[in-house]
Structure 1
Amino acid sequence: MTLIGLLFSILLPAMAQQPPRLVTDFTNDWRFASGDYPAAKDKAFSDAGWRTLNLPHDWSIEGQFSEHHLTTTQGGALPTGIGWYRKTFTLPATATGKRVYVEFDGIYRHSEVWINGHSLGTRASGYSSFRYDVTPYLTSGPQVLAVRVDNSAQPNTRWYSGSGIYRNVRLVLTSDVAIDQWGTFVSTPVVSEKKATVKLQLTLRKTSAAPERVSVRTRLLNPQGKLVAEQEQKNNLLKDSVTALPVPVQLIVASPLLWSVEQPDLYALVTELYTERGLVDRDTTQFGIRTFRFDAATGFSLNGKPTKIHGVCLHHDLGALGAAVNVRAMQRQLELLKNMGCNAIRTAHNLPAPEFLDLCDRMGFLVMDEAFDMWKKKKSKRDYGLDWDQWHRIDLETMVKRDRNHPSIILWSIGNEIREQFDSTGITIARELAGIVKALDPTRPVTSALTENVPGKNFIYQSGALDVLGFNYKHTAYPDFPKLFPNIPVLASETGSSLQTRGHYDMPSDSVRMWGKPKGDFTEGNPDWTASAYDNEAAYWGSTHEQTWKVVKKYPHIAGLFVWTGFDYLGEPHPYPWPARSSYFGILDLAGFPKDVYYLYQSEWTNQPVLHVFPHWNWTKGKPVDVWAYYNQADEVELYLNEKSVGVRRKTGDDLHVMWRVPFEAGTLKAVSRKNGQVVQIREIRTAGKAAKIELLADRTAISADGKDLAYITVRVLDEAGNLVPDATHLINFDLAGPATIAGVDNGYQASLEPFKASYRRAYNGLCLAIVQATETSGTVRLRAVSEGLQSAEIIIETKK
C-alpha cells in the first residue's frame, strides 16, 4: 500500500465523523421585508417584525398583476422594487479553524451582502453565481447575514425576471488548503469504445501564509459506483493563494459507458487533498464520457452518431412559481419536453440555475449555455448594458468555470441578437469573449445567436470568433447557408415565435397569419386576447412550427433547431398589450398543458405512435369546422362523423398534418390511422354536454416530505359522461388539509389577472392547475376542489421522508 493509501485508511474513521469540507443548505429561516431599510445591514438591527420564509424566494410572483406595473409589461406587469433579507445563525462546532464561505447561485438583481455589518461586496447581474469569504468578519455568538436586493430600476429585462434571492444559498466550510470554487475541470480528450482518457485540471486555494506541500489522490467511479481507476500525485508545492496544478491528472477508463441523450451515464471523480496534517479536502465531480462534433456539411453528431438537435429555448421562470428555483418544477418541464421528443435546451438568454444543468445531465438533454442578451449596447433602458464594462468578464468566467463539467453542454453562447453585430465593435467584443471562453474551456465550440445572415453585414461573423454560427428566424435562407457561410457549421438557434392560446380555434385555418408590430392601440387581434391554436399564426419576424421544421428536417447541413419557446413564459405578451401579461410562443402553456402543436413535434421527433385530432367538438350546428390531425407510423387517416366517413387524408410532399373541413353536427368525431390497410390507432372526440363535475389528476401521488417537493394537480371540468367541457370557465376553490401548502395556481390563459398565490383559480377552456408543496412533515394530504353547480372532487397525496 502506498503512503497516501495507508494514511487514507488510518484517517477514514475520523473522516466519517468530521468531513474535510462541510456544505450546509442555507435556505431556511430567513427574514424578509420589501422596501429599503439601510440600517438592516447592521447586526443590532431588529428584524422581529419581518416575515420569516425559506429560500429560494421570488417576491414579484407574490404580487398582483397591475397596470401600475406597466413599466415592466415586458416583464409580466408584476411588482419589482427593493427588498431586504436577513439570516441570524450560529456556526457549527466544526467551523473552528475553517474558512467559512457563503455561496449564492443567483440574486435578481444588484445585490449587496453584509456579514455582521461588514460589506462583502456587490453583484450587478441577476443570473451570475458567486461566493464571499466571511471568515475575517465572524464574531462570537450569533452571526447576522444581510442582503439588499435592488430591482427597482426598470425596465431592465425583456421578460419576467423575478426579484430576490431566487436561487439556492449554501454555507461552505473548508480547510485553509482546499480545492478552489469551481476548481475542478474534467475533460475527455480521447474517447473510443475501447477506452477513454479522463483529464483533470485542478486549481487549489491556500489561505495560510506559509507554503504548503499537497498530495492529491483521485478515484474514478463508474455509473454503478465501482472504482475503475485511481491516481496519486505527491508533494505539489503551493506558494500562492491560488495555484493550478502544473501536471493534470490523467486516468484511463476501459470500455467506457458513453453519455448520450438516450443513455445519460454519469461517472464521478473523487478528489482528495492531503498535507502533512492529513486529509484536508474532498470534492466529487460528476461528468460524462462522450464525444461530439459539428460539421458544416453533415450537422451534429454525438459519439459518432448523426443526431439532429430537436431543441427548445427556455426562460428561467417556472410559471406560477415565478423565478424561485425548484428542482421538481424544472424536472417536470424537462419530462414533458422529453416525452415530446425534445433532446436539447437553449438557456435563453442567461446562466441557468446549476440544478437545471444537473437535471439535463441526468435526463439526457443537450444544452446551449448562453451568457448574455446584450453586450454594451442595451436593449432596455436600465439593463445589463449599463454594467457591461465592469462585470462582463467576471460573469462570463463564472459561467464557464461553474458549468464546464456538465456533459450536457455542447455549446457556449456569448450572446443573443447582439446589436454590436451591425457595426465593427462586434468584431472586438466577440474576439474578447471567445478568448475568455477558450482560455477556460478549449473543448467546446463558441457560438452566438445572430439575426443578420448577410455575411458582409454581420460583424460578429466577420470576427472569426465563432466556431458554430447560430441564426435566429429567416428560415427561407437556410438552404443557402453553405454558399453564404462556407466551411462553418450552422444551427437554427431560434425559430418559430408561432402564436397559440391553448384550446382556442379561429377558422378558416388553411392560411398563415403574420401578426404585425403593434403601434398604439392594437386592433388586429381577438377581443379576448387569444391566438388560434392551429399552427397558422406567428409573430411578424417568425414562422409557423411546420414552416421551419420542414426546412431544418430537409437539409443535413442545419445541425438542428431551438424552437421559441418550449413553454409560455411570463412577460413579452406579443402581440397584445395589457391585460395580456405572458407570452403566446410556447409549445406548452404556462401551466404546462400541451398545446396541439406539441403533438406535431411528438409525431416527428419520437418513435412512439401518434394520432392527435383537434379541435374539440362543441360548435354551432352547420358551422364549417377545420379538423386537423398529426400522425406518424401510418399511411393515412380516415375521419368519421357519427360513424359516417368524412374522407381519407394522406400527407403529401413535405406536409406534416392533414385537414378536413366538416359541417358541425353534434356527436362523435373519430379518426383512424392505418398502415398498409391495418389499423394503427383510433382517436375519438365527443360533443360535451353541460358541465357537471370536477376531476383531479396528480402527476405523482407520493412526494418527499422535504419542504420543497411538488405535486402538480390538473383540474378538469367534465360533463356527466366524463367528457372535458372545452369552454368551461368555472371558478374552482381549493381546500387543503395535511402537511402541505398550495404553492401556486394557474390555468395557462395569457391574459388571466388572477394571482398565482391563491386558493382558487378559474378554469380556462376546461382546465386549471393547483401545485401542492410538501412541508418537512410526513403525512396524508387531501386536496378538495369545489365549484358552484359542479360535483366536487378530492385527491390524496402522501408525503414521506
Structure 2
Amino acid sequence: MSNYLNKRYRSAGLILFMLLMVVISYGQPGSRRTFNNDWQFYLGQTDESVHHATFKGEGWRNLSVPHDWSIELPFDKESPTGTGGGALRGGLGWYRKVFVLPEADKHKKHFIRFDGVYMNSEVYLNGHLLGVRPNGYIGFSYDMSPYLQYGQQKNILVVKVNNDKQPNSRWYSGSGIYRNVWLESSSGIRISEWGPYITTPGIRAGKAVIKIETPVHIDKPAGAIYRLRQRLFDAKGVQLLQSQNKFRATETTVNLQQELTVTRPVLWSDENPYLYKIVSEVIDDNNKIMDSYTTRTGIRSFYFDADKGFFLNGKATKLRGVCMHHDLGALGTAINTRAIERQLEILKAMGCNSIRTSHNPPAPELLDLCDKMGFLVMDEAFDMWAKKKTDYDYHLYWDQWHERDLRDHVLRDRNHPSVIMWSVGNEIIEQWGKDSSGAVILDKLVNIVKELDDRPAITANNEINTYNNLLKANITPLIGYNYSHKYWDSVHSRWGKKPFIVTESTSALQTRGSYDMPSDSIRRWPEAWDKPLTTGNTDTTCSAYDNCATPWGSTHEESLKLFQKYDHIGGMYVWTGFDYIGEPTPYPWPARSSYFGIVDLAGFPKDVYYLYQSTWTSQPVLHIFPHWNWTPGQTVDVWAYYNQADEVELYLNGQSLGIRKKQNDAMHVVWRVSYRPGILKAVSRKNGKIIKEALIQTAGEPAAISLSADRKQLQKNKNDLSFITVTIKDKKGNTVPLADNLVTFTLQGDAEIVGVDNGSQTSMESFKALHRKAFHGKCLVIVKAKNKTGLIKLTASAAGLPPATIELQVQ
C-alpha cells in the first residue's frame, strides 16, 4: 500500500490514504508475568555493592512498581525543573529486586521488559550491564539468560535511573520505573515480542481478508518441523476460523504469511469498538504448544479526504479530539489502568472520540483502553529532534537513538485499531532556519514509518507561514496546524489539496469555579508568548467563563465554531483534555499546574465541559453557571450551554428574566442579572415543549461533608482504585461554592490512600497527604485496594462539621 500513499494529490475530490486494515491490541506472549512486586528503592547516590545479594544499605524502602518518586517530593520554587516541570525535583534513583528461578527453567530464555523508565536507565543483572536507554517513554527488553542463576541461587536485578540533569522536559515528566515491568520466557522458539503484524487489503462485499505476518525466532535452528496456527475468536469467545502452516526451522528468524477470511465482519468504530481475538501458536511435531501470543483485533477502514475530512468505515466522522499529557494528577506518572480508564470515561461522556498522545509514546494500557472504549489516536513520537527546547532534553541523544526509538514505537503500537496516524514531531525547532536539516530529518522519519506501517505521518506545526521548512518540503501526507485558527480556512491555498488536521488548538485558561466579569471581555494572558504576565488576577486564577486564553490560542468557543463549520477540518485536538502538572501558563510560582484543561487535575469538569457535551453529543444538555453566592446588587453574568432546544428561559425566585436564543453561530446564551439570593432556574424548550431544567440555589454556611465514589466495588489486585469526591454542603444539601475546609481522611480495611487533590493549580499541599483543603467546595481522595477481600471504610472529617463515612467492598 506504500505505492498508493506515494501518489500525488490530483484534485480536491481525490480520496487520500485509503487505509483498510485489521489491527491488534492487548498483545501478550504466552509466557508472561508481571514483575512489579517486591522491589527496593533508594533515592540518591549509592555504591556498587547494591549489586550484591548481601547488600544491607540503609535508607532503602520496599515498594511495588509502577512508581514515580518525584510526585512524593514537596513542591520547590528552586527546583531545576522549574514550574514548567511542575516544581518537583528529579534526581538519581535506584531500584533493586532479588528473585529466584527454578532449576527446571534453566533451558528457557528469559527476558525482562520495561514499558517505560524515566529516564536514562541502566539495567544490571548480577553485576552485568544488560543495557541503557535514554528515552524515558520507550519500552525496551533485555535477554537475561546469559547471566541468570537457578535453583536456590539469588538473582539481583538493579535499575539505575538518572533524572538528575534538569530541565529535560517542558512539562512534568515524573521519575522512575513509572510503567509496568514483565518477565517473559520462552522454550527455544518464540513469536516476535511485538506479536504478528495484521492487516487487510480491503473490506468488500461483507468480507474481510485478514493477512497475518508472524516473525518466529528460533534460538538453535536445526531443521525441525513446526506448525504456526492462527485461531480467530469473536467477542464472546466463540472460535470462528483457523489456519495453520508448517515450516522448517532452518534460520534464526522465519517470517510466515497467513490469511483468514471473515464473512460479515463486525466493524470497529468509535461508536462500536468491537474486538475479535487472535491466538497465534507455535506447535512442535509432538503437538506441544511451544509458544503462543494472544491479541485483540479490530476490523475497520478509514481514509482522509482533502475536502471532506476523515471517514471511518465509509462514514464522515469528525475527530473530536483532545491532547493529553501522561501524568495522572495526584498519582503522578505511575501508570494505573483504572486511572486512565476514568479519564477516558469522563472524556467519552463529553463527546470526545480522539486522543493525541502529547508529546510522546503513551503507556500500552492507554492504547489498549482506546481500542476497547472507541477512541481514535494520533500516536506521537517526539517533542524535539536535533535542536533543543531545554538544555538536557532528548536532543542530546537524537543522533544515536532516534531511529531505533521510532522503530520500536511504531512496531509496538502499529497493531492497535485506535491508532490512525503517527505524529513524528511537535513544534519542532527545525521548522525555522536557512538550512535543510529539518526536511532531511523529516524525510527519514516518514520513510521509517512507511517501511513499517501504512498509516500516514504528520507533524504538529506552530509555524504556518511559507518559510516553514517542514511544510514547504511537502513530505507528510497530512497537514497539521497548531493554533492559527484564523487561517484554518486557507490551508489549501497555502499548501495545496492535502487533508488537514488541527493538531493542537485553543489553549484557553480556566480555574474551576472562578469567574471574571464582564464575561464578554476577553483576556489574552500573557500579552505575548515570550513576555511575562503583566496583568492577571492577584489570586492566580483564570476565569471559567471561557473568556481567558493565551495570545497564540483562542477561547474554546472561537475554535469550536470553526471546527464545526468547515468540512475540510478532519479533526481538532484541544489543548488539553485534563489539566496536567507543569506549564502553569500564565502565572509563575506559586502556580505549578496547567490551566488549559477542559477538566481539572482532580477530574472535576470545568463549565466549558458542557459546551463540548452540548455540541459533540446527542444527549440533552442544559448547564447554567456561575454559582449563586454573590454580593446583593452585584451584576452577575449567567451563561447557559444547551442543545436540542430552540430557547432557554431563566427564572430568579420564580420571576422570569427573559428568554434567550442562540444568535448566528453563538454556542451559548447569557443574561446580565442583578444578584439577589435565592433560586436560579433555567428551562430549555423546543417548540414550546420542555426539554430540560437546571437549578442553582444560594448556599448557606458549610454544614456537612458528602462522599461519593465513582466505584464501590473493587478488585483485590493491588491496583484497583476508587475515586471519591468530597463535597462541602450546607444544611439543605447545596454545594458551598467557596468552601475551603481542611478535610482529613482515615481508612479502615485492607486498602490505602494513594492520592488527594482538589483541582487548584496553586495548592502546595502534597498529593500524598492524608488531608486536603476543599477548593470551591470540592476535593478528591483516591483509595487503592490491597490483597484481601472485605469491607473498607473511609471517614472524612473537618473542624465544625460532622464526619462522613463511605463503605467500599473489595472482591
User: Is 2:383 aligned against 1:373?
Assistant: yes
The equivalent residue for 1:748 is: 759
Distance change >3 Å, CA 79–CA 223, structure 1 → 2: same
The equivalent residue for 1:37 is: 46
Deviation at 1:462, TM superposition (A): 2.9
1:649-704 deviation per Cα after TM superposition (whole angstroms, max 9, x unaligned): 00011100000110100001110100001111111101001111100000011111
Q: Does the CA-based 8 Å contact 1:20-1:280 persist in structure 2?
A: no
Q: Does the CA-based 8 Å contact 1:428-1:463 persist in structure 2?
A: no
User: Is 2:609 aligned against 1:604?
Assistant: no
Tell me the amino acid that sits aligned with residue 714 of structure 1.
Answer: T
What are the within-5 Å matches in structure 2 for residues 195-594 of structure 1?
Answer: 195-208=207-220, 210-239=222-251, 241-245=252-256, 248-276=257-285, 278-423=288-433, 424-442=436-454, 444-454=455-465, 456-516=466-526, 517=528, 522-594=533-605
Determine which of 132, 138, 161 is the counterpart of 1:149: 161
Deviation at 1:214, TM superposition (A): 3.3
The equivalent residue for 2:642 is: 631
Partner SS state of residue 181, structure 1: coil
1:348-382 deviation per Cα after TM superposition (whole angstroms, max 9, x unaligned): 00010001100000000000000000011110111
Deviation at 1:459, TM superposition (A): 1.9
Determine which of 167, 176, 182 is the counterpart of 1:164: 176
Structure 1 unaligned blocks of 5 or more: 1-18
Q: Does the CA-based 8 Å contact 1:188-1:290 persist in structure 2?
A: no
Q: Which moved more, 1:521-530 or 1:364-373?
A: 521-530
Q: Does the CA-based 8 Å contact 2:322-2:356 persist in structure 1?
A: yes
Partner SS state of residue 313, structure 1: strand
The equivalent residue for 1:775 is: 786
> Using the alignment, how far apart are the partners of 2:402 and 2:195 within structure 1?
20
The equivalent residue for 2:17 is: none
Q: Which moved more, 1:352-361 or 1:137-146?
A: 137-146
Q: Does the CA-based 8 Å contact 2:335-2:363 persist in structure 1?
A: yes
Tell me the amino acid that sits aligned with residue 797 of structure 1.
Answer: L
> Using the alignment, how far apart are the partners of 1:403 and 1:504 within structure 2?
40
Whose relative contact order is higher, 1 or 2, with alpha carbons under 8 Å and at least 6 apart?
2
Deviation at 1:425, TM superposition (A): 1.2
> Using the alignment, how far apart are the partners of 1:253 and 1:490 within structure 2?
33
Deviation at 1:209, TM superposition (A): 5.5
Determine which of 141, 163, 166 is the counterpart of 1:131: 141
Partner SS state of residue 577, structure 2: coil
Query: How large is the Cα RMSD of the aligned pairs?
Result: 1.5
Deviation at 1:237, TM superposition (A): 4.0
Tell me the amino acid that sits aligned with residue 550 of structure 2.
Answer: A
Structure 2 unaligned blocks of 5 or more: 1-27
Equivalent residues, number: 777
Tell me the amino acid that sits aligned with residue 417 of structure 1.
Answer: E
> Using the alignment, how far apart are the partners of 2:697 and 2:212 within structure 1?
60
The equivalent residue for 2:77 is: 67
Partner SS state of residue 342, structure 2: helix
What are the within-5 Å matches in structure 2 for residues 615-630 of structure 1?
Answer: 615-630=626-641
Tell me the amino acid that sits aligned with residue 441 of structure 2.
Answer: I
Q: Does the CA-based 8 Å contact 1:213-1:238 persist in structure 2?
A: no
Determine which of 678, 697, 704 is the counterpart of 1:667: 678
> Using the alignment, how far apart are the partners of 1:782 and 1:47 within structure 2?
37
Distance change >3 Å, CA 343–CA 518, structure 1 → 2: closer
> Using the alignment, how far apart are the partners of 2:516 and 2:709 within structure 1?
31
Determine which of 92, 95, 100 is the counterpart of 1:85: 95
Deviation at 1:323, TM superposition (A): 0.1
1:314-367 deviation per Cα after TM superposition (whole angstroms, max 9, x unaligned): 000000000000000000000000000000000000010001100000000000
> Using the alignment, how far apart are the partners of 2:383 and 2:225 within structure 1?
44
Partner SS state of residue 357, structure 1: helix
Q: Which moved more, 1:671-680 or 1:200-209?
A: 200-209
Deviation at 1:212, TM superposition (A): 4.6
The equivalent residue for 2:200 is: 188
Q: TM-score, normalised by structure 2?
A: 0.94
1:483-535 deviation per Cα after TM superposition (whole angstroms, max 9, x unaligned): 22222100011001000000000111102111124778744111111100010
Tell me the amino acid that sits aligned with residue 432 of structure 2.
Answer: F
The equivalent residue for 2:775 is: 764
Q: Which moved more, 1:742-751 or 1:421-430?
A: 421-430
Partner SS state of residue 312, structure 1: strand
Tell me the amino acid that sits aligned with residue 46 of structure 1.
Answer: F
Distance change >3 Å, CA 276–CA 716, structure 1 → 2: same
1:222-255 deviation per Cα after TM superposition (whole angstroms, max 9, x unaligned): 222222221111124441x33433xx21110000
Partner SS state of residue 410, structure 2: helix
Deviation at 1:706, TM superposition (A): 0.8
Partner SS state of residue 505, structure 1: coil
The equivalent residue for 2:7 is: none
Partner SS state of residue 591, structure 2: coil
Partner SS state of residue 189, structure 1: coil
The equivalent residue for 2:12 is: none
> Using the alignment, how far apart are the partners of 1:213 and 1:430 within structure 2?
44
Deviation at 1:464, TM superposition (A): 3.0
Distance change >3 Å, CA 92–CA 622, structure 1 → 2: farther
Distance change >3 Å, CA 94–CA 669, structure 1 → 2: farther
Q: TM-score, normalised by structure 1?
A: 0.95
Partner SS state of residue 192, structure 2: strand
The equivalent residue for 2:24 is: none
Tell me the amino acid that sits aligned with residue 583 of structure 2.
Answer: E
Partner SS state of residue 86, structure 1: strand
Distance change >3 Å, CA 701–CA 89, structure 1 → 2: same
What are the within-5 Å matches in structure 2 for residues 716-727 of structure 1?
Answer: 716-727=727-738
Q: Does the CA-based 8 Å contact 1:39-1:45 persist in structure 2?
A: no
Tell me the amino acid that sits aligned with residue 567 of structure 2.
Answer: P
Question: Identity over aligned residues, as a percent?
Answer: 52
Partner SS state of residue 658, structure 2: strand
Partner SS state of residue 560, structure 1: strand
Distance change >3 Å, CA 553–CA 789, structure 1 → 2: same
Distance change >3 Å, CA 236–CA 295, structure 1 → 2: farther
Q: Does the CA-based 8 Å contact 1:494-1:564 persist in structure 2?
A: yes
Distance change >3 Å, CA 236–CA 438, structure 1 → 2: farther
> Using the alignment, how far apart are the partners of 2:529 and 2:281 within structure 1?
60
